[in-house]
């Protein structure tokens, strides 16, 4: 399956949601006026809300440094590894990434197209396939410290960012996305977001450490600047209300 790197949408596209996945997670959508969105799946527990900043599902450590069970040859398009005790569902890592960790000089990253399931008990390895056209570039043999680390797509199972955030912030939905449903989260351009405190027009904002899903002034000597800039203020609403923010999550 192939999609253009960036879809060109109209003004109405970001308001579309559905229970059936139409695009790869993380698919980029650009709309008139330079607005950028990413295709995302809402988390399984709480229905989405409008105008709050979302983050990825919290990545657990159980998929870090899993031992490969078969040598990787140059040109291989899949890798087999031993799972721990955490259940892996089929294609849970679709659209996610794996990184080959090897003591010497690797760190080779690849995107995951599909994976087999694992019940967290069986001795059978799990297999993950790379996207069409991608392949491993370096030989990796089965040995101690030759492992892979897997992460899900940052846009799978998104949640309103807790205060403070516990994973990478990924965007703001313009419409309610139901539990487990799919839709678009905005990452760049003029957006609406709930705010904490009194913002300063023209200055930067960061995720709040006090109010879930909110943004607050980015004060570089305020002690929590490390959360980073997520955008600039266009218009200031009262605290807990919604302000116009120029989002810059795609980098600026």
- Measured in residues, the chain has a length of 252
8-state DSSP, 82: -
**19 vs 33, beta carbon nearer another protein:** 33
Tokens of 49: 């809300």
Among 193, 211, 215, 230, binds another protein (CB under 8 A): 193
Which residues inside 55-114 make contact with another protein, applying CB under 8 A? none
Determine if 53 is a binding residue for another protein (CB under 8 A).
no
Tokens of 252: 């600026």
**7 vs 49, beta carbon nearer another protein:** 49
Which residues inside 7-46 make contact with another protein, applying CB under 8 A? 10-12, 15, 30, 32-34
Closest CA to 188 of 58, 77, 42, 32: 32
Using the contact rule CB under 8 A, the part of the chain among 123-131, 140-148, 163-171, 194-202 near another protein is 194-202
- Left (φ > 0), alpha (ψ -120 to 50) or beta: where does 28 sit? beta
Instruction: List, in order, residues 6 or more apart from 60 with CB less than 8 Å away.
Output: 86
Contact residues toward another protein (CB under 8 A) are: 10-12, 15, 30, 32-34, 49-52, 174-176, 188, 190-194, 200-204, 217-221, 225, 229, 232-237, 240-244, 246, 248, 251-252
């Amino acid at each position: 399956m192939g999609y253009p790197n960036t879809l060109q949408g109209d003004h109405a596209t970001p308001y579309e949601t559905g229970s059936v996945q139409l695009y790869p997670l993380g698919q980029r959508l650009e709309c008139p006026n330079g607005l950028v969105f990413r295709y995302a799946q809402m988390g399984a527990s709480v229905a989405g809300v409008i105008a709050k900043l979302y983050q990825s599902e919290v990545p657990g450590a159980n998929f870090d440094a899993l031992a490969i069970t078969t040598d990787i040859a140059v040109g291989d398009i899949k890798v087999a590894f031993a799972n721990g005790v955490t259940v892996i569902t089929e294609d849970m890592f679709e659209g996610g990434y794996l990184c080959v960790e090897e003591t010497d000089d690797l760190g080779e990253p690849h995107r995951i197209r599909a994976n087999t399931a694992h019940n967290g008990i069986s001795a059978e390895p799990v297999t993950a396939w790379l996207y069409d056209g991608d392949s491993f570039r370096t030989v990796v043999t089965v040995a101690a410290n030759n492992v892979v680390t897997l992460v899900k797509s940052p846009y799978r199972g998104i949640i309103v960012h807790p205060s403070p955030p516990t994973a990478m912030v990924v965007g703001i939905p313009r419409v309610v996305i139901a539990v487990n449903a799919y839709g678009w989260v905005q990452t760049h351009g003029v957006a609406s977001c709930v705010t904490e405190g009194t913002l300063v027009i023209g200055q930067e904002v960061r995720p709040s450490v006090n109010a879930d899903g909110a943004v607050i002034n980015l004060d570089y000597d305020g002690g929590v600047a490390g959360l980073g800039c997520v955008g600039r203020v266009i218009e200031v609403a009262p605290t807990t209300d919604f302000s116009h923010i120029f989002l810059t999550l795609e980098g600026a």
